[in-house]
């Protein structure tokens, strides 16, 4: 990298000033001693350069879970990292690598925001899990946690994440129905597509109860009825056909297909290994909803 660019970044970060705005008032200026600029266009690249060595060290020890011979012991998105290991001893070694890297590079892990989740093997779960420490603090063992907005549970069921999305959908559709009640039907349909058809992380839903899935479908249908001011018991398929808008099942098929396609085309070896397996849960789920076996 040209020395001039490095000096520009060094000068930029050394002389940046920060203020806190609260109730219309600004605090005194203060300097920021660590971290990248939040929201800065260069920040993701700079952080990746900073943290990439840790990811290489973790992957290089070849300790953890394996998929078709591919070591998968850490998943990282920005500063959110998940460590994966089939044993407590392996997990301790992975945590030790992170602690050493943090100490050498001026980082501090927050033990209060770090948790341990033990996945069940079928219906079996260990009766005792030896403690694991981070920075001298024993990490809390939980039965679920939220990673990048998606709720992961010990039994790998998706009911709780579907409920999360159903509650979020209810909030969004109520907001639209309240604020845009006097808009034209065309405007309402455009808003509905933008705010109510995202179904965040729905492509990952492969194991759930019919009750949770149906509750989300009913919420989606009722949201459209409320926004368009349609009768409560009008035909769902008919109203979506008239509005030329995808129904619930059409969206679920597209979401699952899109995720599977992107996984197969990804340059990430882990994603390609998962997508290529004949027992890939996402692929089997997609086949089920396309063939009508899952409703």
Q: pLDDT tens digits, residue range 113-163?
A: 999 999 988 777 777 889 999 988 999 999 999 999 999 999 999 999 999
Question: pLDDT value at position 282?
Answer: 84
Query: Mean pLDDT, to the nearest integer, of 38-53?
Result: 86
Label each residue of 200-234 as H, E or C. CCHHHCCCCCHHHHHHHHHHHHHHHHHHHCCCCCC
294: confidence class by pLDDT, cuts 50, 70, 90: low
Question: pLDDT value at position 295?
Answer: 61
Query: Mean pLDDT, to the nearest integer, of 50-76?
Result: 88
Residue 211 pLDDT more than 90?
yes
Residue 232 pLDDT more than 70?
yes
Q: pLDDT tens digits, residue range 240-270?
A: 999 999 999 999 989 988 988 899 899 988 8
Q: pLDDT tens digits, residue range 103-112?
A: 998 888 888 9
Q: pLDDT tens digits, residue range 67-105?
A: 888 888 999 888 889 999 999 999 999 999 999 999 998
pTM, entire model: 0.83
Q: pLDDT tens digits, residue range 153-209?
A: 999 999 999 999 999 999 999 999 999 999 999 999 999 999 999 899 898 999 999
Query: Mean pLDDT, to the nearest integer, of 49-71?
Result: 88
């Amino acid at each position: 990298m040209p020395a001039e660019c490095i000096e520009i970044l060094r000068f930029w970060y050394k002389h940046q000033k920060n203020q806190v705005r609260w109730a219309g008032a600004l605090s005194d200026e203060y300097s920021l001693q660590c971290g990248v600029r939040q929201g800065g266009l260069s920040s993701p690249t700079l952080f990746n350069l900073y943290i990439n060595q840790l990811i290489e060290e973790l992957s290089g020890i070849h300790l953890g879970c394996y998929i078709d011979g591919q070591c998968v012991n850490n998943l990282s998105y920005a500063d959110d990292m998940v460590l994966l290991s089939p044993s407590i001893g392996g997990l301790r070694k992975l945590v030790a690598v992170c602690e050493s890297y943090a100490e050498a590079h001026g980082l501090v892990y927050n033990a209060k925001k770090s948790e341990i989740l033990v996945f069940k093997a079928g219906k079996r779960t260990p009766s005792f899990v030896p403690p694991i420490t981070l920075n001298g603090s024993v990490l809390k063992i939980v039965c679920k946690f939220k990673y990048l907005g998606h709720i992961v549970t010990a039994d790998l069921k998706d009911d709780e994440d579907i409920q999360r999305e159903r509650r979020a959908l209810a909030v969004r559709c109520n907001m639209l129905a309240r604020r845009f009640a006097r808009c034209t039907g065309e405007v309402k349909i455009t808003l509905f597509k933008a705010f109510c058809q995202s179904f965040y992380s729905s492509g990952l839903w492969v194991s759930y109860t019919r009750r949770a899935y149906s509750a989300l479908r009913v919420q989606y249908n009722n949201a459209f009825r409320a926004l368009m001011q349609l009768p409560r018991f009008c035909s769902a398929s008919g109203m979506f056909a008239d509005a030329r808008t995808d129904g619930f099942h059409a969206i679920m098929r597209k979401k699952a297909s899109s995720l599977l396609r992107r996984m197969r085309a990804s340059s990430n070896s882990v994603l390609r290994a998962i997508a290529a397996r004949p027992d890939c849960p996402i692929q089997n789920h997609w086949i089920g909803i396309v063939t009508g076996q899952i409703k």
